[in-house]
Amino acid sequence: MSKSIWIKLFAAVGLLFLLSACSFNPLADPKTLIQTPELPSDKQTLSSIISSELPEGASIQSPKNGNGSKIQTVDLDGDGTSETIVFYQTTTGRIVGLIFEKSGDTWVKKDTIDSAGFTLESVEITDITNDGHRDLIVGYSNDTSNSESSQKRLVIYSYDKGKISIVDDMPYSYYSIIDMDGDGINDLVITKINNSGYVNIAAYRYKAGFQLISSMDLVNTIGSDHFYNVVAGKVTANQNGIIMDQTLGVSAFSHLIVMEDGQLKDVFPLSRQATYKDIQITSEDVNNDGILEIGMAEIPEGWENIAPTEIPRFTSYYQWSGGADLTKLVSQQYRDEQGRFVIKLAPEWIGKVTIDTKSNKNQDLRFILKDTGEKVAEVRFFSENEWNNHSGDWEIIAQNRGQVIALWENSKINVIQN
């Protein structure tokens, strides 16, 4: 082989390496190469059809409450083809809704919802008119702030044969769709401020229009912005109700509204005494048994005479058992005030554990048995340095900004629910 061929060959190889070094950097930053996954083709189609229908500058809205999905696809009219409901806000701030119906592989715009509001509060799709077809229940407000005080409008729409029609339109602060009287048919329960300024709760049933079944005013409660939590659902194994947690300064108390003999009633007529708590606790189904619990703050035994700000309070969750006070304690927890951790007592130890008065709720919490005083668990706040040098059988339960919060548990007496 002649020398010149070799030289040419080596030059070619060298050139290749040089070129590849210029245009080709195998060690690019990997994170610059990621991208948002594509939507499935049907959703892409839908997305592009929606975009083509939006006026310039409009943005698709996500409801402030409830299911936060921007685009919902359901069969509204029960004809076996799906409809898609989208709300957008125009450049002037108005909320406008669009209804599309599926047609083969594509979607066709059927109707427009011209709303009266500027904020989309909620979108719920369920059958409230009891005709077997789902209805569209949309809440609007004119308020752009987060305040709950302003009166909102609840509009119930029905969709049939490609046309949207308004079934009813009523002012509300909170609404719940729930079977209050146990007849198997959903009722619409509206909480609003009535003309005299009181909080009014009204239950409606749909029968050729919404018929008022029962209505009541909450005693001594003016203005609806004091409610920090309104939740509807089962309150006993076979009764539905609505729990409304109301603020009282930094404290709180709760209402439980049920229907008895066709009449709405607050089961704690003297709510402030029966459900008063030093701190605001959200009522919810904490033990996942399908029944709502009312949360109560409880001062551990021995802390009665200590300054309220220093008390490490237990949070006790009660189920309603029919009476005018709360007796059925189902869960006892220690909830850190800053939301860093939650310690749940095992059901068999509920009510039998207190916190050593030498504890400090931001340093060291010692859980002891009420009768013997024996230490059964401890939550300690470690600095990172302390944690690295710690000894003993500690389990991290929270970790943040150089702070380690760890739990020690008496292995013979397991008071902590895992």
Partner 1 sequence: MIKKGMTRQIVLHYFIVVFLTILLVELVFLFAIRTYYYDGISNYLQSSFDNTRAPANYRDIVSSYSLDKAEVQVLDLKGNVLQNSTAFIVDKPVQTGDIPQALSGSTGRWIGKQAGTGEDVMAVTRMIKINGDKEYLVRYVTSLELVNQKLFYITMVSAGIGVIILIVVLMVSIGLANSIVKPINNIIGVSTLMAKGDFNVRIKGNYPHEIGELAATLNYMADEIVRSNQIKDDFISSISHELRTPLTGIKGWSETLVSGGFDPEETKLGMSIISKETERLIGLVEEMLDFSKLQQNQMKLVIGQVNLKEILQETMLNVWAKAEQKQIKLVLEPGDASYIVQADGNRLKQVFLNLVDNAIKFSPNESTIKLVIKELAPERVRIVVKDSGIGISTEFLEKVKDRFFQVNPNQGGTGLGLAITQQIVQLHKGEMHIESELDHGTSVMVDLPLLEKKPATPDLTKEAN
Binding site for partner 1 (CB under 8 A): 1, 9, 13, 16-17, 20, 24, 26-31, 33-41, 43, 47, 60, 67-73, 335-336, 339-342, 397-398, 400
User: In this complex, which beta carbon is closest to partner 1, that of residue 34 or of residue 208?
Assistant: 34
User: In this complex, which beta carbon is closest to partner 1, that of residue 29 or of residue 261?
Assistant: 29
Question: b/e for 202-230, b at 16 or more Cβ within 10 A?
Answer: bbbbbeeebeebbebebeebeebebbebb
CA torsion, points 213, 219, 224, 230, in degrees to nearest 10? -70
Contacts (Cβ under 8 Å, ≥6 apart) of 292 = 231, 233, 234, 235, 241, 243, 283, 284, 285, 319
Nearest one of 144, 201, 146, 209 to 175, comparing CA atoms: 201
Cβ–Cβ < 8 Å for 160, 77 = yes
355 vs 259: CA distance, rounded Å: 40
**H/E stretch holding 4:** helix 3-23
User: In this complex, which beta carbon is closest to partner 1, that of residue 81 or of residue 130?
Assistant: 81
User: In this complex, which beta carbon is closest to partner 1, that of residue 31 or of residue 412?
Assistant: 31
Burial class for 159, CB neighbours closer than 10 Å (0-12, 13-18, 19+): buried
Q: What's the gap between Cα 306 and its chain centre?
A: 34
Contacts (Cβ under 8 Å, ≥6 apart) of 400 = 340
Cβ–Cβ < 8 Å for 57, 91 = yes
201 vs 221: CA distance, rounded Å: 12
Nearest one of 152, 158, 52 to 95, comparing CA atoms: 152
Query: Least Å distance between CB 335 and partner 1?
Result: 7
Query: Least Å distance between CB 302 and partner 1?
Result: 24
Query: Least Å distance between CB 186 and partner 1?
Result: 22
Q: Which amino acid is at 189?
A: V
Phi-psi sector, 347: left (phi>0), alpha (psi -120 to 50), beta: alpha
Query: Least Å distance between CB 338 and partner 1?
Result: 9
Q: First CA to last CA across the chain, in angstroms?
A: 79
Q: Which two tokens stand for residue 43?
A: 């959703």
